[in-house]
Structure 1
Amino acid sequence: MRNDGTLDDQNRLGGPAGRSDGIPSTDRLDGTFQPRLRNVGLLRTRLDGLRNLLAARRGRTKVAVATGAVCCLGLVALTQVGPSPAGESLVPDQRAEVAQRAEADAASRGLARESAAPATETPAPTGSASRTPTPKHKPKPKATSKAKLKRIAPVAGLDRAQMDNATKIVETGRKMGVPRRALVIAVATAMQESNLYNYASGVLPESQNYPHQAIGWDHDSVGLFQQRPSTGWGAVRDLMKPEFATRQFLTTLLATPGWQNLPLTLAAQAVQVSAFPYAYAQHEWRAIEVVDAILS
């Protein structure tokens, strides 16, 4: 039996180097309590070693969990935390360094994944402030106002109002794509029917509510072509518009078979069905002069 009160265990901490049997006999003679003090110091040393070992194991467990979250690098971190070849445990500073390395490795992999993602923005030029460029808004084009009616100097003895109405007839026909001959027939017809003035009707008070230049009394005839609402030419408010009245006349003229080969007076009469069918021919030369002046 040993005199220090410990069991002889070859597997205990410290190994054979920690036995008290190696204490020289001369030291035992110095006093009664000196061997006990030596044993207490040895026991404290062993307890410190055990405490360090347990702390090292706890550190290894924490590092193993952290490194397992960062994939295969955990094995490297666990190896670094393990005991040294001499059986010594890592000191607290070494454990902190290992933990920092593990965190650094995880961050570096995260950066690698981010950099592999496709870029969606154009990088800012070197040395310039990083900011999203503000798109420049192009100024909206100004809305163009409707083209005003081309003012043609009056010809063929017409006044300003008559020439403006003749121009409306020709411009409407051009938009419809009718040939020049149809324009001449239309202007000559308006010269005979209304003398190229926009007439309201004394029989239809409603017609006087719209822009007009004269008032006639030929039944319910209105407008440049003296078209009658009662015979199906259209509503009063529409027939008082020179453009609408012109489209009505030209549409009926173009629907007349062989109108291009008819004399002007017969072509106009086929549309108007007038009581004076031959009166249109007298205006043909003036109508030609007016149409040529507008088209030139």
Structure 2
Amino acid sequence: MGRVSETPLKTPRPGRRRRPFRLAAALLVLLGLAGYYIVQNESTGGDGAPHCTVVAAPAGAGGRGGGASYSMNLEQARYAATIAAVGSTRKVPERAVTIAMATAMQESALRNLDHGDRDSLGLFQQRPSQGWGTPAQIMDPVYSAGIFYDHLLDEVPDYADLPLTVAAQKVQRSGFPEAYAKHEPDAALLAAAFTGRAPGSLSCSGPLPQETGDAARVTAELVKVFGAGVAPKAGPPASPVRTAPVAADGSEVTVAVAGTDRGAPVDRRRGWELASWAVAHAADLGVQRVSYDNKAWIAGKNKGRWIDKPPGKSGDGDGRNAGPDDVRIFVAPLNR
């Protein structure tokens, strides 16, 4: 008889039995990432991570419009809005706002830094040792923007006729004077949006406010940035702009746009400046809706873009809509 060949049993390789567990773990990770994406996508109106975008042409019902664009995170948008608001409140020309915006973009990337070269601080990297103010003052964006404009107007009276990089350098005295020029196109885009010259060009997506906003805090911030003229006043306003909580539950702040109480034409540019400021500060102030000039911005909806929402018979019957006379800022939870 021939010899019977015996085939030895194969010993399972180490780890082969673990494959199902690894696959299950990987699947759980993928599911978790998918869940995160879905939540993130929903909370930002389907437009990715929270951010703001300014486009050269206003976003319409069918899309963003063409031309140049600039995207930034929510923190950067807040500071850009503050720089523009402080400038326009001081009645400086848009060119001055563009210079200030480009300077902050170069010095801090529109961030309120608590550090820098030597003792430099804040949006504009101003130095306490060089007489720009105390550290606490410089870390206040309203103060730092204001003192930048003070220096620009006092020290560079011909700034409007100078190249941006020359005007900025005369104020900042930077070691890299040519660096400001590269930011000019983006700075001009932001200045047009946040001073109200380009209505509806700003869109901000998510996240949805997690807590009920405080109308009193919104009013306080408006007063701090735009000046005492936005404070409620008895009788005819001594200033072109006034604000007051009007909703019974304290959920709304309404700002009357310049000229409406004097029979003068409505200043839509001023209105859009206030509306854009409110949108840029929506996440930190708990703002869930801004209505102005027959349009509305609603947190977490429409990919952060403005949509048509006219009041009256021509509208959809929503009592929160607004025309060109008032900017309406809503902070309480609303039916979305």
Fold agreement, TM-score > 0.5: no
What TM-score range do you get, normalising by the shorter chain? 0.3 to 0.5
Structure with the higher fraction of residues in strand conformation: 2
When the two structures are superposed, what TM-score results if normalisation uses the length of structure 2?
A: 0.38
Structure with the higher fraction of residues in helix conformation: 1
When the two structures are superposed, what TM-score results if normalisation uses the length of structure 1?
A: 0.43
Structure ranking higher on relative contact order (CA contacts 8 Å, 6+ apart) = 2
